[in-house]
Amino acid sequence: MNLNEYSEALAAAVERAGRSTVSVDARGRIPASGVVWSSAGEILTADHVVQRDEDLNVILPDGSRQAARLLGRDPHSDLALLKVEASDLVMPEFASGARVGHVALALGRPDDLQASVSHVVSIGGPVRGGFRYLEAYIQTDVTMFPGFSGGPLVDAAGRVIGVNSSALARGASLAVPVAAADKIVAALRQHGRVQRGYLGVSTQPVSLAEGVAQLAGQASGLMVISVEADGPAAKAGLLQGDVLIGLGDQPIHDIDTLHAALGPDTVGQDLTARVVRGGQIQSISMRVGPRP
C-alpha cells in the first residue's frame, strides 16, 4: 500500500466511525464526545465531562440536537451512560484484539468531526486502587484535543476498540476497551452505577511463616489491620490480626488480588474466606457487601 492509499484508508475509517460519534453538551465549556452504544439510543461518554445531571444534550452527526438523560455513571472507570429518544442512530462496528503497534485513531466531535492518528503503545490492566478501577486499558500516543474525551478509539478499519478519556491517567492517553466498557454499560443500565465488592477491612501485605506458607501453598497474604464496625467482615467474625489468604476460589496475596476477587458479580454473594489465625488456617463464610 502506497502513502496515498494508506491516507485514503484512514480517511475512510474516520468517515465510517464518525457516523456513530456524537457531541455531548453536558458542561459549561467546550462540548465533549460520545459513542453510540446501542440502537436503543444509549450513548457512552466520559464521566468527567458530564458535569450536570440535567439539561443534557447530544448533537448527532446530522447536526440535530437531542435531549438526553443520565442512566448512570462510574467515576472509577470515567464512563457515563446517556439515553436519547432517537431511532435512526448508526451503530458502530465493535472490535477487540488490539495489539501493541497497531494504528489507532481517536475521534472527537466537540463541534465538527475531528480525528488524530496514533499507535497502540501498551495494553494493560487491571488497575485497582486509589480512585481507579479498570479491568483493562489501551494506552496510545494520541494527542487528546479538547473535547475528545468520551469519543471512540478506532482501528484502521474504523471499528471501535475503546472509549477515550483524558482523565484516566496523568500524562498518558488511555481508553477503556470495548469488552470492559460493555460490562460497565450493563451495570449502569441495570443499577445506575457499578457495584463493587466490599469487606470493610484495612489490610497490609505480610509474609507467611514457613510452616503456614507450606500449608497454604503461598508465601504471602493480607493482615487485617482494622475491621469496620457492622461491615461484612465484622459480621462474619473476621478479627484484627487475621491474615487473609483466600476469598472464594481466589488466593489472596496482596491488595490487587483482593480487589480482583471482589468484582461486581460478588456483591450479595456468600464467599468463603481462608484466614490464618493463631498459626492455623480457618475458613469463614462472609456475605460481600457493595462498596459505599
Domain residue spans of the chain: 197-290
How do residues 36-78 score in pLDDT, each as one tens digit? 999 999 999 999 999 988 899 999 999 999 999 999 999 999 9
Torsion on CA atoms 266, 267, 272, 277, rounded to nearest 10: 120
Q: At 257, is the secondary structure helix, strand, or coil?
A: helix
Could you list the active site residues?
Answer: 48, 78, 149
Instruction: Quickly name the fold that domain 197-290 has.
Output: Pdz3 Domain (2.30.42)
pLDDT of residue 114: 96
User: Is 126's pLDDT higher than 90?
Assistant: no
Q: What cell numbers appear for 74 in the block?
A: 462510574
pLDDT of residue 195: 84
| Prediction pTM value | 0.80
pLDDT of residue 137: 95
Query: How far, in Å, CA of 175 to CA of 127, rounded?
Result: 13
pLDDT of residue 284: 96
pLDDT of residue 53: 86
Name the band, by pLDDT with cuts 50, 70 and 90, for residue 147.
Answer: very high
> Using an 8 Å Cβ cutoff, are 95 and 120 in contact?
no
User: Is 264's pLDDT higher than 80?
Assistant: no
pLDDT of residue 3: 87
Listing DSSP states for 167-200 in one string gives SSSTTSEEEEEHHHHHHHHHHHHHHSS---EE--
pLDDT of residue 224: 97
Name the band, by pLDDT with cuts 50, 70 and 90, for residue 130.
Answer: low
Q: What does R_g of the chain's alpha carbons equal in angstroms?
A: 22
CB atoms near residue 10 (< 10 Å): 17
